[in-house]
Amino acid sequence: MAHFDVIVVGGGIVGLATALNILEQRPDLSLAILEKESSVAQHQTGHNSGVIHSGLYYKPGSLKALLCVDGYRRLLTFCQQNNIAHEICGKVVIATTPDQATQLDDLEFRGLANGLKGIQRLTPGEIQEHEPYCAGVAGLFVPQTGIVDYTTVCYALQSLVTSLGGQVLFEQPVNSIADEASQVTVISHLDVFTAACVVTCGGLYSDQLARHTINDLDLRILPFRGEYFVLRKSAESLVRNLIYPVPNPFFPFLGVHFTRMIDGSIECGPNAVLAFAREGYSKTTVQPRELIETLTWPGFRRVAMKYWRTGLGEYRRSFSKQAFVRALQSLVPSITTDDLLPAPAGVRAQACDRKGNLLDDFALRESGRVLHVCNAPSPAATASLAIGDYIATRVIARLFQ
Ligand SMILES: Cc1cc2nc3c(=O)[nH]c(=O)nc-3n(C[C@H](O)[C@H](O)[C@H](O)COP(=O)(O)OP(=O)(O)OC[C@H]3O[C@@H](n4cnc5c(N)ncnc54)[C@H](O)[C@@H]3O)c2cc1C
């Protein structure tokens, strides 16, 4: 039975950044990351849009806002120090109706309140100076937004964790976490471990991990698949950088958009449809037990009632390429279905409470010697190094001083 001061469950970007921050603050602690897959970043982190978010959307004062802005700075420094390709290319947010144009006021206000500088309002002509094929009645240019490959960031985090003495143990799916008076026992498929402290960063399984030590956990993860297309090479010139719609303020996802990836390809998407399995990357992946768990959570029925209209639109875009293209054409009218090739999907872990609220903010839950990251949706990749510092400071102050 191996013993560590700290065990981190989950080798996505949040688990890796947490481990690194713990070891940087306390190099004397022994630490292991237990990851169920055979390499890091196999789930949300390795299937995301690769955007370095600036902090435009988030409620001022929320953890998301504070940790995104702090994480943004840390991530840029990390990329510079570790020679990771990244680019601050800026993005445009496009209003296509007068109503949406007034919503840009709120976005601009939030951005300014979160400390962003240099945000510009754009006229239709100015939109085209940034994105020549894009049409809108008004726009916002946010200069701080950038792009990076988060899997590459994770490889760098992994190598720093191991260089500080941490172990990253793969193919260790954790089945049980028992918080006892003086230690925590963690049982995986293969081994039994003990630790003075456990931090779980399980993404799509974060609620299941939390339920090992919190019986009456007040939330469940709903898996929302985000499907993408990629522009054919011949159409890549239609998009220079990042083009976003004005988001629906009542829905936690940003709407289909265009993203230039760090390798130069242009992704279109993601939409947001309920997946029938937590790792349901395709329309046909169904895990009956997981699906029943989702459908019987009291909050889910309320979500379904609240968002049925938005949800139907998302399903339409999932099953009809034409409908997906129509959403993209509202931003870039000359895009055609022939310009789009299918691309791999991602699945977002979105926490939902019993009352049917999709949790807007990052959420942590603590019990005894265990801290669970229960809701770390976008922009948690951008914010990861700040989330890691926040968690490290908390667990060290509580358990190692
Ligand atoms: C489609 C999509 C687009 C996004 N775009 C962006 C973006 O552009 N910018 C941005 O900042 N954020 C974006 N996000 C959000 C971002 O990717 C996530 O917030 C972030 O990756 C969460 O990291 P994580 O480590 O918490 O989760 P994950 O990356 O999902 O990692 C969790 C890890 O835990 C492991 N695990 C789970 N259960 C167990 C167990 N029982 N035992 C052992 N290991 C376990 C999993 O295998 C996985 O490796 C996007 C997300 C998606 C899905």
Take atom 31 of ligand 1 and give the residue whose Cα is closest: 12
Give dist(CA 317, CA 219) in Å, integer.
28
169 has a pLDDT exceeding 90: yes
Q: What local confidence, expressed as pLDDT, does residue 278 receive?
A: 97
372 forms beta bridges with 200, 365
Q: Which atom of ligand 1 is nearest to the CA of 34?
A: 43
First to last CA, the chain: 25
Classify residue 50 as left (phi > 0), alpha (psi -120 to 50) or beta.
left
Q: Which atom of ligand 1 is nearest to the CA of 378?
A: 15
Q: Which atom of ligand 1 is nearest to the CA of 259?
A: 8
- Output the CA–CA distances (angstroms, integers) from residue 299 to 63, 135, 206, 220, 344, in the order listed: 23, 38, 17, 8, 29
Take atom 3 of ligand 1 and give the residue whose Cα is closest: 48
Take atom 33 of ligand 1 and give the residue whose Cα is closest: 10
- Residue of 44, 52, 145, 244 to mutate, ligand 1, most atoms within 8 A of C-beta: 44
Q: What local confidence, expressed as pLDDT, does residue 15 receive?
A: 98
pTM above 0.95, yes or no: yes
Does ligand 1 lie within 6 Å of residue 53's CB atom? Answer: yes
Report yes or no: 275 and 222 within 8 Å, Cβ to Cβ. Answer: no
| Helices 298-319 and 321-329, axial angle in degrees (round to 10) | 90
Per-residue pLDDT band for 347 (boundaries 50, 70, 90) equals very high
**Class of the 1-89+146-218+360-401 domain?**
alpha beta
| Helices 63-81 and 150-163, axial angle in degrees (round to 10) | 70
The stretch 299-310 carries a mean pLDDT of 90
Take atom 15 of ligand 1 and give the residue whose Cα is closest: 378
Domain boundaries, the chain: 1-89+146-218+360-401
| Helices 13-25 and 380-399, axial angle in degrees (round to 10) | 40
Give dist(CA 32, CA 96) in Å, integer.
49
Does ligand 1 lie within 6 Å of residue 252's CB atom? Answer: no
Q: Which atom of ligand 1 is nearest to the CA of 43?
A: 30
Chain CA centroid to CA 334, Å:
30
Q: What local confidence, expressed as pLDDT, does residue 252 receive?
A: 79
pLDDT by residue (tens digit) across 263-299? 999 999 999 999 999 999 999 999 999 999 999 999 9
Give dist(CA 198, CA 166) in Å, integer.
14
